[in-house]
Chains A and B, each alone.
Chain A
């Protein structure tokens, strides 16, 4: 079976230390004001009528690009600069093909993409490709003090990630409008879950999709017209040799 790298997360062990965010930022030189990953938290509840029953501390949820199997960002990219790598199942950006148009940024329901302010291309988590190339785990996984993030090929039954998924119930976080089939699994339960946004398209992309058939249609119709004229010319040439040239000469 094809490799599908994924992250299996036990968010109940997350202590909101944000070491994963720091490790990622340092490792990938993520510029100031931007993040490739995150720790989200649910709203704690303290005061209520029966407060002892309803007390609910905040729940922390580590996350990042979910390397979806149905990636809406890939569908939004006009050139294929954002693509699902068949070799490891990760969603990547070819930064030499990307021109930073940002069609993909609102297409991600998780806000996992940003336009890099100095490299002028779209940047996102690549499961620390450069670390994996030398046999290491992603920085966020290695650094996590409670080992909340478990990383591996979920299509390889021997991997820790696949074992955890097999032995536990898990959930994926999606927006109700589209099943992106994220490859980030949360064991048993997690919170918050209502934060993804509806995948959006920039006005320009919407306009392109709207007008695309017309443009191809105009080119196609003209091509058809030219072919018909060519056919007519070939078929009629035997009947009336040089008719086009002879007739107007008579006028003048």
Chain B
């Protein structure tokens, strides 16, 4: 009880203090408050992961009823991820915001909303009362909105922010409908009442309730086709906010889906297949669009859609496992999903932070304008490359481990499946493999074009690395990534409790399959070590061998042509041209070109923009239709005060007279009937 009070009062104290401090102190105080709150919530989260579920009941008001604060293992896992990313993001953000230190009010607002974002996130992960959950959800969304529109002078930023706000509220509509439905039927806002409700409903009712929640949370998580807000909001925000949004905020959607799986008792097999299909489409569509982006942050944002897809595949297999009563598959699926949640939070935040470094140094994120940054920013380049390898799911980093677990789950579930489910699983494997291959294509492009080769554009200013202290959280993330990659057993051990929640078998009773994941990963861990050892040995041999002979430097081979300009380099678009030609039916390109004609050509130009086909059909077209319908009533809004007063008068008259009229008519009908 007192702990919760302390938790909230730290946040409130921070919010009150921040406006009165100097810009530097604002950052420090925000970070300090977040560290304090993380320590408190992290302690309970860790307890819950070791098997001691924390359960407090907060006396609520007349409306909400008692508020249960239950930090079970699932909340614990997510709280730890939130805390880690927030501390690293806050640290990084302090330096990132240094460039804006003269905008005091903006920084105050930003710091306050950053702090509120953390508090509301931890709150919504730990309360199990739907009304309080929704309030925390709203606070989270608004504070995230304010964080995103930090650069609100730019029209595009504001537009992206509002787009995010609107779409998030569409998700709230679904959630409110779901929660109110349950509350209306059972009279309680406690999450446990959802369980009793779903049990009473049997079959379709429970399934429908789950679909309602799934759509609500899927908008937040960014499953295709609900992903359209994501590629706008992430690039518009400052780098640390993009990292946190992509790393954590969209994971709230995942948390919500997982929580609903725990409380709703429905037909898990069909839910599993539904999630699986959504996820494979999200994964493929996300990466397919990511490849053709020119904006580095937008590219990363589409990759979030892809990774949500991978997490979803894990959840889908887990559900199928529960539905068919196969605990090994259930364990593998949920373990893969939960571990990938952590992994994605790590490498995606690292990618966004390094992209932020690039932006700070060059003031552009257009891939086609960059190049050769590795020579001026070696640390950033290495960190970006590491994160790129990890996100492509390549050993020896963490991305491989979670994908490996999901693959194992998929191959396991092939064994005793019927023909229909076999086909679904087979295409899921196909999808996952293609996602991996496409991610490789996309990230070789990102690393190769942005950091390697020659600079494609001359900048007027110096390009240099950020301050050393800014790199500390980035190194911490990298170390953690390698650590998960090489010693995954430690982390999968922590996952025992959360998984036990889903499979319904207590983790304490070590049954045959519980030890399976850590044991199964033992040889993987050894293989990873062997891999690193081989690389080291070959490197040392090479170093020795290269010691003696002469090594010289010269120009790149260009078929004997000695004076190539940087413009001759392969560009990002040309690198993926073969791919985009193949995928023409699914992608959308708008291009403007003026061809070079004649012997003495004057000028020519070429411009191409990628657009989201689903967005066009599902968002733009309907909105356009609504707009053109609404335009018919445009004459009403003519701007003259007199007519507005007239509308008011008409309205008042109508309000008074229509009931009277209705009464008269009904009495007249009565009269007629009597005749």
Chain B binds chain A:
no
Enumerate chain A interface residues (CB-CB to B < 8 A): none
